[in-house]
Amino acid sequence: MTPISRTPNRDKIDSEVRQVPPDSRMGRRIAKKIRERVPSAEVDVQVEDGIAYLSGRTGTWNEYLGAGYAAGGMKGIRGVVADITVDGMPKKELRRPDRPKEVIKEDEDVIIVGGGVIGCFIARELSRYDLKVTLVEKELDVATGASKANNGCVHVGIDPGKGTLKHRLCLRGNAMFDKVAQELDVPFRRVGTLLVITDRTLPENVASKIPDSLRKLVLKYVLPHMVLLYGKRKNVPGLRKIPKEEVRQIEPNLTDDYHSAVLMPTMGIISPYELVIALAENAVENGVDLMLDTEVTGILVNEKNEVEGIQTAKGIMRGKYVINAAGVYADELAETAGAREFTIHPRKGALIIFDKKLAGYTSHVVSELLLGQDKHTKGGTAMLTTDGNPEWGPSAIEVPDRDDTSVTSDEIHDILKKYAHLFPHIEAGSMIRYFAGVRAATFTEDFFIGASRKASGLINVAGIQSPGLASSPAIAEYVLDILRAEGLGMEEKPGFNPIRESPPKFSELSVAEMEKLIREDTRYGNIMCRCEKVTEREILDAIRAPLPALTVDAVKRRTRSGMGRCQGGFCLPRLIKVLARELDVPLEEVQKKKGGKVISSRTKEGGQ
Amino acid sequence: MNAKVAVIGGGPAGLGAAVAAYEAGINPEDIHIIERDMELGGILQQCIHNGFGQLIFGEMMTGPEYASHYIDEVLKAGIRFHLNTMVLDISPDRVITAVNQEECLMRINADSIILAMGCRERTRYQIHLPGERPAGIYPAGTVQRLINIEGALPGRRAVILGSGDIGMIMARRLVLEGAEVEGVYEIMGSPSGLPRNVQQCLRDFEIPLHLSHTVTGIHGNRRLEGVTISRVNPESLKPMPGTERYVECDTLVLSVGLIPENELSEGAGIKLDGWTGGPIVDEERETSVDGIFGCGNAVHVYDLVDDVTKSSELAGRSAARYVKGETICREHVLSITAGENVRYTVPQHIRKQSDEPVEVFFRVYLEAANVKLQALVAAEVISEESRRVVKPPIMEKIILQGDLLPVDGEIIIQVVEK
Amino acid sequence: MSGAKEHILTCINCPMGCTITVKAKGSKVLSVDGNECKAGEKYAILEMEHPMRILTSTVKVKNGILSRIPVRSSAELPKGNIRECVRLLNDLEVNAPIDIHSPVLKDLLGTGVDIITTRSMERDGE
């Protein structure tokens, strides 16, 4: 039941072209590798259908990761299920509380679980067809997880290994962005990556062994040339070595302390949450039912292992196909269908944002080539967001807790230090925010996309991390191919409208345009967020949109209210009053996000 | 629209400046106050505690009472004001662009401008507070607005980080409104707010003040669930491993400093002082841009509203003088340098030649007892005052006699032991 | 003198916040030291014998441009009574429009002190 891709130029799927040794021998090889790498771990290995099932115990989280990676790195392994306990960490019990058995959806064609960029993109693409599609999201908004907490880079596709899904989908996805961004009215700019080669590019142990003159030669000529070759091998278009004089012109605040630089022009930047919101709105306008605040507690399968629908906190939804786009919880969701084919291990990434005053400071996505670093922690850039804030990061830190979006002092310090090499004159004092998201990494380090071989009708779209955003248009296209191959008929819907318009952003207008808008609607004359110049009308637009903003954070992501240098100190008391009025709830019910009420009660009202 | 004097901000500084300009002979019709809120008074309207007005009125007033005195003056004089109006831009040639719901877009060509935008609060991000980002973490001024204006109690159990005045005052307010305040934590070895607030806001209500402590963790994904508190090394101010303590709370109030608000000033090309965060001004409170003056907390953060008013009255008079073409020669610059145990001074330089005395405001770095405040010109003391004690939270000032000042060169302000 | 105790106080009369050392036997003050001015001495003696505070808070207001109006006590109240006084304010509601310095509660707990508004407030929509 392998999905057959019908797009002619991608007829190969990795696991099929690899020569896979028999399961038992593979199991022994993995066990040996784990013993070598993590001698103290006690891990049993079973391999079945290309999936490595690890069980046993390890002493630490790092050993757990070591065992997982050892298996995931093995050629021919397409998934790793790590059922390994870690000493001192109680195994999380999956909650299975009694849920309402009421059937709230009778016969959906496709149910998508998860309102991140992947779920929303698939929903939007499915909305082209005459299908009954429901997207369920547990939070009060879309894009509340990794999809909001990344830097919005639309990567060029040079990093993933050739032959991986990541590589193929990133290349294709990147090329699809101009059209999507235009249709959905989301700011997108192909700014290009400037990859600089510095004294830190070569690892210490290598650099120290090469004589000075040779090292300079390597840094100045050999490495950039290798990057070009590497780009060619990965089919990344347009790479060129760029002389210092030109760099000085296009990125004047960049340090001069580097040896050479390569420009990769196809790198793009987009606001990741604006993209998701736009996709969701467009999907809703084209008939997708988007249910917020609806936690999925399990996938319903019959005795023949066929998907019949899902159980949610609000009741049962019946449907033929379930798309698992549940991000860091995708493995737990799949498990409820008895379909364990991969384990997600969370990897946190922190980013820092600088004041918009520095908008003119930088324009490209600037990266430093750092060779020989741990491949899971490399990456990160200094860039400018589409809103004009310099942004540095992300870091990459393995964390046991999937909800750990904390940012530690060390992370802040490390990011500031790392990118100060590139932009030495930016002051830490102009940092206005930091945040973190959690990547849904798998041990095979590739996307895990495909029809489950254990529960028919379940399509896993898992392990989506960088370059997940860049790949998202291609992932959606690929998932539609898989659905067709799985037997879902798709007939184009005549009324599909690919266009979504975003409401005007007051602060981006000329003075004349501002005046015109205020004359049309005086609520444009009421500026509620001082730092970002967000008007009452824009806030109302957000609350009254096809996908309404229900929380302070949802309004913030749509309008930038509270995203400026005072971080909501000024606008929050004003904003919650508008939200309470518009949502017709008491002030004390207004939430920052689901479960996070802004205030606890009113004064003088029996509070004592 | 034309204005002789346009005042940006209708808080205590803006009100004082407008009234002073009127009293200096500017037609009230030609004075425009631009205020972003729905009424005049600025932050005073939410400062319902008392302690204002002692220097000017010799009595203890609450914030709204203090504000209403000046609002009455503005109304009585017939000075024009625009409420709910946000200034978008000030150009170096003094064109103000603002929006509101009635006039839509306003352009004011001003002969002179007085910057009275006040200040904003430092956020958790500016002090690198680590952890999660749940609901329940608010700057003290936001809490003050929520409780005193909106009647909204932010939470049931609060921890307060920083012993700034507003933080201590809000500790008392929270307790009076029925919330619990677990404690106030201050990274420094001494409180950053006024001593009287330690007494009447904390001790009176048995709220513990923990010096040399800070928050090193914020827990809870959705609503704040607790914070980690650590003791800090008094010298390095770095948290000391092993001293962590978890404190359950649903609210974290930050009173960790104020920043003069000067985005508009920057837009007008005005030079700012890296120490104060406000415009560099001369003794008349004129900034580096001709005809644009600054006063109040937009120039540097004051302890007392009375001093804000005095600074704004000075700026108001200066603007009036400028408009009337009475400004004295300003070709020479006598710079003022912060010397021993002086963090910064306001004004930063003197450039008008008059015999009027000049008040130089400053803050010390370190608490010290039995000291002399001195002004030196060419190693010679031209002014000296004694203090039993000086403390960083208390702004100091020294008066320079105009006739003793050289035309240019440098004055050093210092605080030395007796 | 036997039974005399030293107390350290912070004067709340002005921003200086003088640290005052009081020697007292019970509430009877024997000496006051450390104050910069006369008000400090007066404060110290009162603080030892019968501490007094101004109370500031808010009360609910109906039909106003805001939902709360700030108030204060017209004079100092015994410190020990502050919390009880605040509780009395919780049940109050006044109507807009209302003038500054209007009494909203008279003769609080028999102290002769009133609670008065510290601002005026217009009716909403006027």
Say yes or no: C72 and C34 in one domain.
Answer: no
Say yes or no: C24 and C40 in one domain.
Answer: yes
Say yes or no: C11 and C46 in one domain.
Answer: yes
The answer, yes or no, to whether residue A1 has pLDDT greater than 70, is no
Q: A391 or A98, which is more confident?
A: A391
Say yes or no: B1 and B110 in one domain.
Answer: yes
The total domain count for chain B is 3
Residue C122, in any domain of the structure = no
Q: Which residue in A423, A418, A362, A351 sits closest to A390, CA to CA? A: A362
Say yes or no: A260 and A270 in one domain.
Answer: no
Say yes or no: A510 and A592 in one domain.
Answer: yes
Structural contact between residues A144 and A273, judged by C-beta atoms closer than 8 angstroms? no
The answer, yes or no, to whether residue A2 has pLDDT greater than 70, is no
Write out chain C residues lying below 8 Å of B388, CB-based: 36
Say yes or no: A285 and A299 in one domain.
Answer: yes
The total domain count for chain C is 2
Please give the residue range of the domain that contains residue C99. 56-117
Q: Which residue in A311, A150, C101, A522 sits closest to B104, CA to CA? A: A522
The answer, yes or no, to whether residue A21 has pLDDT greater than 70, is no
Measured in residues, chain B has a length of 418
Write down which residue in A401, A418, A442 finishes a domain.
A442
Interface predicted TM-score (ipTM): 0.95
Amino acid at A236: V
What is the separation, in whole angstroms, between the first and last Cα of chain C? 67
Half-sphere exposure of A360 (CA within 13 A, CB side): 2
Residue C42, in any domain of the structure = yes
Say yes or no: A517 and A477 in one domain.
Answer: no
Say yes or no: C33 and C81 in one domain.
Answer: no
> With an 8 Å Cβ cutoff, is A95 touching chain C?
no
Tokens of A490: 């798709």
> With an 8 Å Cβ cutoff, is B145 touching chain A?
yes
Please give the residue range of the domain that contains residue B366. 329-418
Say yes or no: C26 and C73 in one domain.
Answer: no
List, in order, residues 6 or more apart from B405 with CB less than 8 Å away. B334, B350, B358, B377, B382, B411
Write out chain C residues lying below 8 Å of B147, CB-based: 58
Distance from CA of residue A566 to its chain's centroid? Answer: 27
Mutate to test the interface with B, among A397, A409, A412 (most CBs of B within 10 A): A409
Say yes or no: A301 and A403 in one domain.
Answer: no
Amino acid at B194: L
Q: Is B25 left (phi over 0), alpha (psi -120 to 50) or beta?
A: left
By the 10 Å C-beta count (0-12 exposed, 13-18 middle, 19+ buried), A169 is classed as buried
Half-sphere exposure of A304 (CA within 13 A, CB side): 4
Please tell me the distance from the alpha carbon of residue B94 to that of residue B113, in angstroms, as a whole number: 7
Q: Would you list the DSSP string of B113-155?
A: EEE---EEEPPTTTTT--B---B-EEEHHHHHIIIIIT-EE--
Say yes or no: C69 and C37 in one domain.
Answer: no
Write down which residue in A485, A501, A517 finishes a domain.
A501
Element (H, E) at A324: strand A315-324
Residue A9, in any domain of the structure = no
Say yes or no: A184 and A272 in one domain.
Answer: yes
Write out chain A residues lying below 8 Å of C61, CB-based: none
The answer, yes or no, to whether residue A11 has pLDDT greater than 80, is no
Structural contact between residues C90 and C102, judged by C-beta atoms closer than 8 angstroms? no
Half-sphere exposure of B49 (CA within 13 A, CB side): 22
Say yes or no: B277 and B182 in one domain.
Answer: no
Say yes or no: C40 and C83 in one domain.
Answer: no
Residue C124, in any domain of the structure = no
Mutate to test the interface with B, among A521, A600, A605 (most CBs of B within 10 A): A600
By C-alpha distance, the chain B residue nearest A139 is B222
Measured in residues, chain C has a length of 126
Write out chain C residues lying below 8 Å of B150, CB-based: 66-68
Say yes or no: B196 and B245 in one domain.
Answer: yes
Say yes or no: A104 and A185 in one domain.
Answer: yes
Say yes or no: C27 and C68 in one domain.
Answer: no
Write down which residue in A426, A442, A458 finishes a domain.
A442
List, in order, residues 6 or more apart from C91 with CB less than 8 Å away. none
Say yes or no: A435 and A376 in one domain.
Answer: yes
Q: Residue C126: pLDDT band by 50, 70, 90 thresholds? A: low
Amino acid at C70: P
Say yes or no: B240 and B293 in one domain.
Answer: no
The total domain count for chain A is 4
Helix (H, G, I), strand (E, B) or coil at A411: helix
Write down which residue in B283, B309, B327 finishes a domain.
B327
What local confidence, expressed as pLDDT, does residue B400 receive? 94
List, in order, residues 6 or more apart from B279 with CB less than 8 Å away. B115, B262, B265, B270, B271, B272, B273, B287, B288, B294, B298, B299
> With an 8 Å Cβ cutoff, is A409 touching chain B?
yes
Tokens of A111: 């149910």
What local confidence, expressed as pLDDT, does residue A90 receive? 82
Helix (H, G, I), strand (E, B) or coil at A250: helix
Structural contact between residues B232 and B239, judged by C-beta atoms closer than 8 angstroms? yes
Q: Which residue in A187, A150, A153, A148 sits closest to A553, CA to CA? A: A148
Say if the Cβ atoms of B304 and C15 lie within 8 Å: yes
The answer, yes or no, to whether residue A607 has pLDDT greater than 50, is no
Structural contact between residues A365 and A254, judged by C-beta atoms closer than 8 angstroms? no
Structural contact between residues B184 and B210, judged by C-beta atoms closer than 8 angstroms? yes
Helix (H, G, I), strand (E, B) or coil at A199: coil
Half-sphere exposure of B25 (CA within 13 A, CB side): 8
Say yes or no: A572 and A535 in one domain.
Answer: yes
Among the partner residues B132, B250, B266, nearest to A406 by beta-carbon distance = B132
Residue A6, in any domain of the structure = no
Q: Residue A23: pLDDT band by 50, 70, 90 thresholds? A: confident
Tokens of B183: 């404690």
Among the partner residues B64, B195, B196, nearest to C118 by beta-carbon distance = B64
The DSSP bridge partners found for residue A365 are A193
Say if the Cβ atoms of A599 and B154 lie within 8 Å: yes
Say yes or no: B127 and B252 in one domain.
Answer: yes
Please give the residue range of the domain that contains residue A461. 94-191+266-343+445-501
Residue A71, in any domain of the structure = yes
Structural contact between residues B277 and B314, judged by C-beta atoms closer than 8 angstroms? no
Go through B44-66 and write b for each residue having 16 or more CB atoms within 10 A of its CB, e for each that does not: bbbbbbbbbbbebeeebbbbbbb
Q: Residue A20: pLDDT band by 50, 70, 90 thresholds? A: low
Q: Which residue in A556, A146, A148, A564 sits closest to A388, CA to CA? A: A564
Summarize pLDDT for C24-49 with one digit per residue, the tens: 988 889 999 999 899 999 999 999 99
Structural contact between residues B83 and B35, judged by C-beta atoms closer than 8 angstroms? yes
What local confidence, expressed as pLDDT, does residue A378 receive? 58
> With an 8 Å Cβ cutoff, is B236 touching chain A?
no
Sheet holding A268-270: strands in order across? A153-154, A268-270, A188-189
Please tell me the distance from the alpha carbon of residue A271 to that of residue A69, in angstroms, as a whole number: 32
The DSSP bridge partners found for residue B107 are B97
Say yes or no: A486 and A428 in one domain.
Answer: no
Domain of A364, CATH number, reads 3.30.9.10
Say yes or no: B114 and B263 in one domain.
Answer: yes
Say yes or no: A589 and A538 in one domain.
Answer: yes
Summarize pLDDT for B69-125 with one digit per residue, the tens: 999 999 999 999 999 999 999 999 999 999 999 999 999 999 999 999 999 999 999
Domain of C27, CATH number, reads 2.20.25
The stretches in chain B having pLDDT less than 50 are: none
Task: Find the DSSP H helices in B219-340.
Answer: 263-267, 305-323
> With an 8 Å Cβ cutoff, is C22 touching chain B?
no
Helix (H, G, I), strand (E, B) or coil at A490: coil
Domain of B73, CATH number, reads 3.50.50.60
Summarize pLDDT for A97-132 with one digit per residue, the tens: 778 999 999 999 999 999 999 999 999 999 999 999
Residue C126, in any domain of the structure = no
Tokens of B92: 């170096």
Q: Which residue in A517, A242, A184 sits closest to A525, CA to CA? A: A517
Amino acid at B128: H
How close A565 comes to chain C (CA, Å)?
Answer: 27
Please tell me the distance from the alpha carbon of residue A543 to that of residue A324, in angstroms, as a whole number: 28
Say if the Cβ atoms of B250 and A600 lie within 8 Å: yes
Say yes or no: B251 and B290 in one domain.
Answer: no
Helix (H, G, I), strand (E, B) or coil at B181: strand
Q: Which long-range contacts (CB under 8 A, 24 or more apart) does A199-208 make?
A: A199/A257, A199/A259, A200/A368, A200/A370, A200/A421, A201/A259, A201/A368, A201/A369, A201/A370, A201/A371, A202/A371, A202/A372, A203/A371, A203/A372, A203/A373, A205/A372, A206/A371, A206/A372
Please tell me the distance from the alpha carbon of residue B171 to that of residue B58, in angstroms, as a whole number: 27
Please tell me the distance from the alpha carbon of residue A464 to that of residue B128, in angstroms, as a whole number: 30
Say yes or no: C10 and C28 in one domain.
Answer: yes
Write down which residue in B193, B227, B256 finishes a domain.
B256
Task: Find the DSSP H helices in A362-431.
Answer: 409-420
Q: What is the mean pLDDT of residues A144-168?
A: 96
How close C83 comes to chain A (CA, Å)?
Answer: 11
Helix (H, G, I), strand (E, B) or coil at A303: coil
By C-alpha distance, the chain A residue nearest B146 is A573
Say yes or no: A494 and A513 in one domain.
Answer: no
Please tell me the distance from the alpha carbon of residue B255 to that of residue B184, in angstroms, as a whole number: 10
Q: What is the mean pLDDT of residues C62-91?
A: 94
The answer, yes or no, to whether residue C1 has pLDDT greater than 70, is no
A364 assigned to active site: no
Q: Which of residues 66-85 of B touch C (CB under 8 A)?
A: 67-68
A contact chains, 3+ CB pairs < 8 A: B, C
Q: Would you list the DSSP string of A500-520?
A: --PPP-GGGS-HHHHHHHHHH
Tokens of A258: 């580097």
Structural contact between residues A280 and A293, judged by C-beta atoms closer than 8 angstroms? no
What local confidence, expressed as pLDDT, does residue A3 receive? 40
Structural contact between residues C61 and C94, judged by C-beta atoms closer than 8 angstroms? yes
What local confidence, expressed as pLDDT, does residue A535 receive? 97
Sign of CA dihedral B381, B387, B388, B389: negative
Write down which residue in B266, B297, B327 finishes a domain.
B327
Half-sphere exposure of B21 (CA within 13 A, CB side): 39
Residue A366, in any domain of the structure = yes
Q: Residue A243: pLDDT band by 50, 70, 90 thresholds? A: very high
List, in order, residues 6 or more apart from A303 with CB less than 8 Å away. none
